[in-house]
A = this chain, B = another copy of it.
Amino acid sequence: LETLIATKAARCVEAARGRTLVDFALRRTHGFDAGLACARSSYLAGFQGSSNVLAGQVFGLPVYGTMAHSYVTSFPSELEAFRAYARLYPDQTVLLVDTYDTLCGTAKAIVVARELAAAGRRLRGVRLDSGDLVELSKKVRQLLRQNDCGEVAVMVSGNLDEFRLDQLLHDGAEIDVAGVGTRMGVSADAPYLDMAYKMVEYAGRPILKLSPGKVSWVGPKQIWRHYDDSGRMRGDTLGLAGEADFSADALLHTVMQDGVRMQPRESLAVIRERCRLERAKLPESLRAIRVKPHYPVTVSERLQDLQARTRNQKLVAENEPSARGD
């Protein structure tokens, strides 16, 4: 799950081209532990924080929130709601402006921005959660600028994922921050990773399964990664553990042995920075949002040999009349 969500979140980060992203997924993740995993994984992938306050407490990552529509509708008027919210959170006021009409809501947010400014504070942002986000974000930005509120951030939310973020920015939306929820939190277009652990050796004997379409590679393995001169990844070699190292980086390391962790625990900041650096080494095609990526993986000769030998032995042995109990 963590790999799945981190991948989806990293794609959102690529699509956002530097805009700040916040995890809004908790209400649609498949339960609470999925919600925690989502907040942590998306933060590691480059999100700025999460609306999940428990994740903030557990992992120490930044929490963000804005008002809900029910907060606005619970007041007799939108302006009263905005003023009450600004009194409650004077230093981090982000006003949700689309409950009745986004542009009218923005006009009221500007009133509150002036009131905050008069008190020595400032309005942090306005959030758009519906409608044509391209057109509305441009108009809202213009309104803000015309009223000396150019520094107020424009935040958007609502059914966002990497594809919609990419499209919005391509179409000229003027966005500083985006809340990304459901589609990232359940990895909507790829909600599972078709991965399984397979036994590859038992009591010194190499092992595989030969089920059609599900043949596994035999033996304990290592992966070596190759880079081009600019430091970009150009392909991997899959081989047997203990093979010559191809003068390349070996990716698999022992992280736990006999129940003991082999390296000290890393902070979120360290993991997040490594994620950023590793993403920068990806070939451009793997960072594209809409292109089906290709990445060359070759299999070492020794692994191919062992695979063929084990396969043939097993095919013969299991099909002999004696093996069938005949």
Complex: A183 Cα to B191 Cα, angstroms: 9
A221 adjacent to chain B (CB < 8 Å): no
Chain B CB within 10 Å, residue with most, of A1, A73, A199, A208: A73
Residue from the list B31, B34, B77, B194 in contact with A318, Cβ < 8 A: B77
**Min distance, Cβ A214 to any Cβ of chain B, angstroms:** 5
A236 adjacent to chain B (CB < 8 Å): no
**Min distance, Cβ A229 to any Cβ of chain B, angstroms:** 40
Number of interface residues of A (CB under 8 A): 62
Cβ-defined contact, B199 with A70, below 8 A: yes
A66 adjacent to chain B (CB < 8 Å): no
Cβ-defined contact, B211 with A108, below 8 A: no
Chain B residues whose CB sits within 8 angstroms of the CB of A194 once the complex forms: 182
Chain B CB within 10 Å, residue with most, of A29, A31, A187: A31
A289 adjacent to chain B (CB < 8 Å): no
A149 adjacent to chain B (CB < 8 Å): no
A295 adjacent to chain B (CB < 8 Å): no
**Min distance, Cβ A317 to any Cβ of chain B, angstroms:** 7
Cβ-defined contact, B73 with A211, below 8 A: no
Instruction: Mark out the residues of chain A between 17 and 35 whose CB falls within 8 Å of any chain B CB in the assembled complex.
Output: 27-34
